[in-house]
Structure 1
Amino acid sequence: MCLKDDGQSEGYIGGMIETFNEWFWHDRLWLPGNLTWADLEDNDEFIYAKVSHLYVTVPIALILLLVRYVFERLIATPVAAFLGVTEKTRHKVEHNVILECSFTTKTKNPGQADIDGLSKKCSMSSMQVERWFRKRRNQDRPGVLKKFREASWRLVFYLISFTSGIIGLYDKPWFYDLRQIWMGFPKQSMLESQHRYYVLEISFYLSLVLSITFDVKRKDFREQIIHHWATLTLLAFSWCANYIRIGTIVMLIHDASDILLESAKIFNYAKWERFSNGIFVVFALVFMVTRIIIFPFWIIHCTWVYPHDHYDPFFGYYFFNAVLVILLLLHIFWGYLIMRMVKTFLFGSLLTKDERSDNEEDEDEDGEAVSTEDHDEHMKVNNGGGGGSNHH
């Protein structure tokens, strides 16, 4: 009887999955006009993108995590030492059960009322309690070497990815004339270079999602999560619905500025401030041109307006454009922060910091706070040769 029940349950679950797949992949959701998925079956002339082509991204994402681990320790660490990147000595906070409990369960930044209450419970002065929390926060913050390793890994990836994109696109007519992106859509044959480019990008962003709990957390942590998932959703959908031509161009314009950002971070961590500042200014310019100008006025215009010449709007059309708009809103958010930094860099006389950074509070020999600058995560800015700031 139990075996029969188990068989019935498995059959019921299998039926639900099959029904969901039929509903989710309904022709009218993802394809224009009277086309069906049967029209996108491989033949002697065309090979079409399929969901199964992306299954390989999962093991490749795991391999990338392994490669990253080896790279950060065998390559990035020696390079950091060569450039003089050293860890800052941190004073380990004295263990206190009451303060530790408040830190882990209530707040890492207590207000004055909380400090006064903890001061009475622990028979400590308010200044001692503040100092304890300051040291405890610093104790959890990643060191400059960890940040250097992460930036180095991302720089190498973006260089490889951007190069792959240029090689795959430079001889394609739709790279120069965006209207040709929709010629014959969606019956456009998949190219091997497109498959490699997509697998590389999706695997990388999937690896970032898998490692995000271990990576350096910044103030825009939630925006980064949204960005990673929106990017994965956009890439996966554009592949399955054969929006591959526009998808490769979107990836390329994103990688262009990321290369400069990671370069600026690396030289900032190495305290090559003038060089880092110059790269950051170029990064800001490229970011604004590619993501605030080209992305909405060329790319989204291409996906929103040109398709009407070939087919009537359908759900996939609206879904694809909605995800692009989400990315645009994130670009505007980050662009605003970047322009604030550039404004201070060009016109300000005071030091500034990365608006997203989790600032480290330095202590002098007596334990008094002497600075709230995050030396690892910002680039100093002043009129006499200061620096920019980084973000992503």
Structure 2
Amino acid sequence: ILKTLNSWFWWENIWMPINCTWEHFVDRDGLVFPKPHQLYATIPYAFVLLIIRFFSERFVAIPLAKALGIKNVRRVKPQPNPVLESYFRECSKHPSQSDIQGLAKKCNCTVHLVEKWFRRRRNLEIPTVLRKFREAFWRFSFYLTSSIAGFIFLYDKPWFYDIWQTWVGYPFQTLLPSQYWYYMAEISFYWSLLFTLGIDTKRKASWFCLALFYFFSPSQDFLAHVVHHLAAIGLMSGSWCGNYVRVGTLVMFVHDTADFWLEAAKMFNYARWEKTCNILFIIFAVVFFVTRIILFPFW
């Protein structure tokens, strides 16, 4: 069964143009082609990015946050209480007054202490401003770096100025080293986001993903982000396997050039630099409109 599924999945009619097979994409005569097995490398690369993220957040983001006036607020942890912890995790984070009275009797303590415990426990669930800043800094750093690298990789290519050049010689277009590393970095980044989704600050996903899971899951944001990241990985991997690398790099560049402005606006919003935040958000809106609404569909 697995062999049948594997042969069906890699059926040439799905991935290749007419009259092309996988044998046509063997390196020859100085031509180098993308190979599906190269995508396995994105998993260890993702862990490398996580290591880079750890050190960049610790030694760059935190000092930068302090310089911008963000304080590291330490929240008081509630006293360990298995009964209250079990209720908090399994029943409700906001118990009713009658439940609080019942829990107070079980724990042999006052109602005030139970209310205080739940208040402190809920506060631990709320991410600190510093934590949000660190995560925004990491995304800003990657999107900015990938945008600069993408421009360096693409500015001297004819298909950067004429979209029809992406199809000249297709599908037998040789893979450039810059294209290889551009793809590896982008796919690895989304793998790393997927790996840390359970511990990162919960963010609102796209409206489409949220609508998809609105009626099916109590944790719409989490699953919506899972779908978003897997879709991004799937689309980039599919374009890699089909050698749509030229147009793929253009799509990645167009998407990343707006994102780092948004993350920068978030960082200054956390620092309460309202004017700077507003200016950056306006720039983001303009860049987003130009890249996603004009260039992406009509370029």
TM range (shorter): 0.7 to 0.9
| 1:126 to partner: Cα distance | 8.2
1:269 aligns with 2:270: yes
1:232 aligns with: 233
Rounded to whole Å, the distance in 2 between the matches of 1:119 and 1:227 is 43
Deviations 1:268-287 (A, max 9, x none): 22222211121112212322
Contact 1:264-1:277 within 8 A present in 2 as well: yes
1:20 aligns with: 5
Aligned sequence identity (%): 47
Classify 1:99/1:284 alpha carbon distance in 2 versus 1 (closer, same or farther; 3 Å): farther
SS at match of 2:288: helix
Aligned partner letter, 2:56: F
Rounded to whole Å, the distance in 2 between the matches of 1:133 and 1:89 is 17
Classify 1:91/1:250 alpha carbon distance in 2 versus 1 (closer, same or farther; 3 Å): same
SS at match of 1:56: helix
2:20 aligns with: 35
- Find the partner of 1:64 among 8, 25, 49: 49
- Find the partner of 2:99 among 104, 114, 117: 117
Cα RMSD for the two superposed structures: 2.4
TM-score by length of 1: 0.65
Deviations 1:100-159 (A, max 9, x none): 22210123245xxx4433334425998876664343221122222222222222222111
Rounded to whole Å, the distance in 2 between the matches of 1:79 and 1:120 is 47
Gapped regions of structure 1 (runs ≥ 5): 1-15, 300-392
Aligned partner letter, 1:156: S
Contact 1:115-1:130 within 8 A present in 2 as well: no
1:286 aligns with 2:287: yes
Moved more, 229-238 or 141-150: 141-150
Aligned residues: 280
SS at match of 1:55: helix
2:213 aligns with: none
Contact 2:197-2:222 within 8 A present in 1 as well: no
The structure showing larger relative contact order (alpha-carbon pairs under 8 Å, at least 6 residues apart) is: 2
Rounded to whole Å, the distance in 2 between the matches of 1:176 and 1:126 is 69
| 1:237 to partner: Cα distance | 0.9
| 1:45 to partner: Cα distance | 4.2
Aligned partner letter, 2:252: M
Contact 2:36-2:241 within 8 A present in 1 as well: yes
Classify 1:127/1:281 alpha carbon distance in 2 versus 1 (closer, same or farther; 3 Å): farther
- Find the partner of 1:46 among 24, 28, 31: 31
Deviations 1:158-197 (A, max 9, x none): 1111111111111222222222322332221111111111
Moved more, 156-165 or 170-179: 170-179
Contact 1:99-1:118 within 8 A present in 2 as well: no
Contact 1:257-1:287 within 8 A present in 2 as well: yes
1:149 aligns with 2:134: yes
Contact 2:78-2:121 within 8 A present in 1 as well: yes
Gapped regions of structure 2 (runs ≥ 5): 205-220
TM-score by length of 2: 0.84
Deviations 1:317-355 (A, max 9, x none): xxxxxxxxxxxxxxxxxxxxxxxxxxxxxxxxxxxxxxx
- Write out aligned runs for 1:31-180 (5 A): 31-110=16-95, 114-122=96-104, 132-180=117-165
Rounded to whole Å, the distance in 2 between the matches of 1:180 and 1:252 is 17
Rounded to whole Å, the distance in 1 between the matches of 2:19 and 2:116 is 69
